Amino acid sequence: FESATAPAGASVDCMAVVGADSKLMVQPAPMPSDQMPPQEENRDRIETFKTNPVHETAQDPVSTFSIDVDTASYSFVRRSLKEGSLPDPDTVRVEEMINYFPYGWKGPDSAATPFNSTVTVMPTPWNEHTKLMHVAIKGFDVKPAEQPRANLVFLIDVSGSMDEPDKLP
């Protein structure tokens, strides 16, 4: 290091001149471990899935998934994209992405008809020689007054782990 002399009245908070040719950096003492904040812990439990192959609908014409599934995939995707990264493929489940959005489809007028369907055929964006068919179903909406009573149990977590940007306020 070179020796330097500070102008009169200049602040030398972090440096102290020791001897003629050396400087000493002043550094705070390490924080005691019992006062250190806990390290962030990722509590998301993501199950790993194999990628499903493409199916020929002529040989395998049926595809099913539950209409009563979680919608967490959309939240994982949104959070990853907001943070500037692609989501972990294991956090993206097609049925959860589909079920996240309200579509506003008209349901049947009575319980005698279990569901209404909406069918749309459109050009395939990636192949002008094929078409996509979108089939939507909407079940009969039971009025809240006619639904059976529900016993709801709430667990409220007020621990420090909930003070993260992806948690509810």
pLDDT at 68 over 80: no
What band does 39 get if pLDDT is binned at 50, 70 and 90? low
pLDDT at 166 over 80: no
pLDDT tens, position by position, 87-116 = 888 888 888 888 888 888 889 999 899 899
For the chain, percent of residues with pLDDT exceeding 90: 18
Q: How far apart are CA 155 and CA 83, in angstroms?
A: 29
Please check whether residue 156 lies inside any domain of the structure: no
Q: What is the pLDDT of residue 96?
A: 85
Within this chain, do residues 92 and 118 fall inside the same structural domain, yes or no?
Answer: no
Task: Give the domain range for residue 121.
Answer: 105-142
Long-range (24+ apart) CB contacts under 8 A made by 55-62 are none
Whether the model clears a pTM of 0.85, i.e. scores above it, the answer is no
Structural domain count, the chain:
2
Within this chain, do residues 97 and 114 fall inside the same structural domain, yes or no?
Answer: no
Please check whether residue 109 lies inside any domain of the structure: yes
In 3D space, the residue among 8, 92, 87 whose CA is nearest the CA of residue 49 turns out to be 92
Please check whether residue 125 lies inside any domain of the structure: yes
Please check whether residue 81 lies inside any domain of the structure: yes
Please check whether residue 116 lies inside any domain of the structure: yes
Within this chain, do residues 109 and 97 fall inside the same structural domain, yes or no?
Answer: no
Q: How far apart are CA 108 and CA 137, in angstroms?
A: 10
